[in-house]
């Protein structure tokens, strides 16, 4: 699934090529792309037609276009968002209208420039069909203040490390107050958004921490340094176009990311650690894989003893974990 840097690359492309243009026609192909729009694909196409894209926004891995619609019956300007859920393979492609239509193009938005000229399409292409489009109302962003808006369905998502609304000290306090594995905390979008499996492994490798370390056992400076590493590695990936392990991931111009060449942990099972040379390991974690160095990132120590409780005559054995 695309992570924060990949989604930000797409957002920047949309900001350059789509913002300021109007939607003059919409072709929704099939129902699955609009399954999150409860009123259905015909309503989605009708409500999008005639709107103007006024901004391209992102929070974490979530992407949306702010829309203005001055047509009667469509609500007030600047209070609606088109959310693009990219899923595993969703792409937002800006192409000439005459370009051949992709086999898995599920939505096509014909665009008009401010000067009235036409000729560009915004196409939502999704081979695996896990993604989709839907409209949502914009509400006040409680994280960023009264002047900021966010789609109502995303209002619970915390700011990511690249946002101005991000408060790292608050995130550290909330992580420290929990008794949970540190990798789980990094992936918890209600704590900090945008950090996915790839960049969590990279941040943990840089911080020399195993993902099963408990947050309440780590000091605040250690947690803060870990979040610094997450921000740094995502910023580096963003500078190189994102991380692409899948030929299906492309930005709006069809260019793939290539940060995978710079990864130190993710996907490197059996390869030498870039720091100490020990072969990297892969472990199961939350129905996915975690990659780490057994020397640089030792597993947390777990003390187990088996005891018989003197309070019971049945001699029931219990395991005590320290």
Tokens 């003059």 found at? 24
In 10 A of CB 319, how many CB atoms?
A: 8
- The DSSP bridge partners found for residue 125 are 91, 105
Residue 20: strand, helix, or coil: coil
The answer to whether 89 and 248 have CB atoms below 8 angstroms apart is yes
| Given 288, 295, 299, 318, the catalytic residue | 288
Query: What are the tokens at 166?
Result: 């991000």
| Given 2, 151, 159, 161, the catalytic residue | 2
> What is the Cα–Cα distance from 93 to 80, expressed in whole angstroms?
21
Distances (CA, A) of 7 to 54, 137, 154, 242: 18, 21, 15, 8
| Given 47, 58, 59, 61, the catalytic residue | 61
| Given 3, 6, 8, 66, the catalytic residue | 3
Q: Is 3 a catalytic residue?
A: yes
The answer to whether 282 and 266 have CB atoms below 8 angstroms apart is no
Sheet with 62-68, strands from edge to edge, namely: 91-96, 118-125, 105-112, 22-28, 52-59, 62-68, 80-85, 132-141, 145-151
> What is the Cα–Cα distance from 61 to 292, expressed in whole angstroms?
24
The answer to whether 107 and 65 have CB atoms below 8 angstroms apart is no
In 10 A of CB 116, how many CB atoms?
A: 7
Q: Is 310 a catalytic residue?
A: no
Task: List Cβ neighbours of 265 (8 Å cut-off, separation of 6 or more).
Answer: 201, 202, 204, 205, 280, 291, 292, 293
> What is the Cα–Cα distance from 312 to 307, expressed in whole angstroms?
12
Query: What are the tokens at 53?
Result: 């894209």
In 10 A of CB 162, how many CB atoms?
A: 18
The answer to whether 233 and 199 have CB atoms below 8 angstroms apart is yes
Active site residues: 2-3, 61, 288
């Amino acid at each position: 699934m695309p992570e924060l840097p990949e989604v930000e690359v797409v957002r920047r492309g949309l900001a350059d090529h789509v913002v300021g243009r109007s939607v003059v026609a919409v072709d929704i192909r099939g129902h699955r792309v609009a399954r999150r729009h409860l009123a259905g694909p015909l309503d989605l196409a009708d409500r999008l037609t005639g709107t103007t894209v006024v901004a391209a926004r992102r929070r974490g891995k979530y992407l949306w276009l702010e829309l203005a619609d001055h047509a009667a019956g469509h609500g007030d300007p600047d209070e609606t968002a088109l959310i693009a859920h990219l899923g595993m393979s969703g792409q937002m492609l800006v192409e000439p209208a005459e370009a051949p239509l992709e086999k898995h193009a599920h939505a096509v938005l014909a665009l008009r420039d401010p000067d009235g000229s036409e000729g560009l399409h915004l196409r939502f292409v999704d081979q695996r069909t896990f993604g989709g489009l839907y409209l949502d109302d914009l509400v006040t962003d409680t994280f960023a203040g009264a002047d900021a808006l966010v789609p109502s369905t995303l209002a619970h998502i915390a700011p990511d490390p690249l946002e101005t609304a991000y408060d790292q000290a608050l995130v550290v306090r909330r992580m420290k107050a929990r008794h949970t594995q540190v990798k789980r905390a990094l992936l918890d979008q209600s704590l900090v958004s945008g950090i996915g499996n790839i960049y969590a492994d990279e941040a943990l490798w840089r911080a020399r921490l195993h993902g099963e370390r408990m947050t309440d056992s780590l000091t605040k400076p250690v947690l803060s340094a870990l979040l610094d590493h997450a921000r740094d590695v995502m910023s580096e990936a963003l500078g190189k176009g994102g991380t692409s392990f899948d030929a299906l991931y492309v930005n709006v111009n069809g260019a793939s990311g290539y940060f995978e060449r710079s990864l130190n942990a993710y996907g490197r099972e059996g390869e030498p650690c870039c720091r100490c040379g020990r072969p990297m390991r892969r472990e199961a974690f939350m129905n996915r894989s975690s990659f780490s160095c057994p020397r640089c990132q030792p597993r947390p120590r777990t003390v187990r003893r088996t005891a018989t409780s003197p309070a019971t005559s049945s001699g029931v054995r219990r395991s005590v974990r320290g």
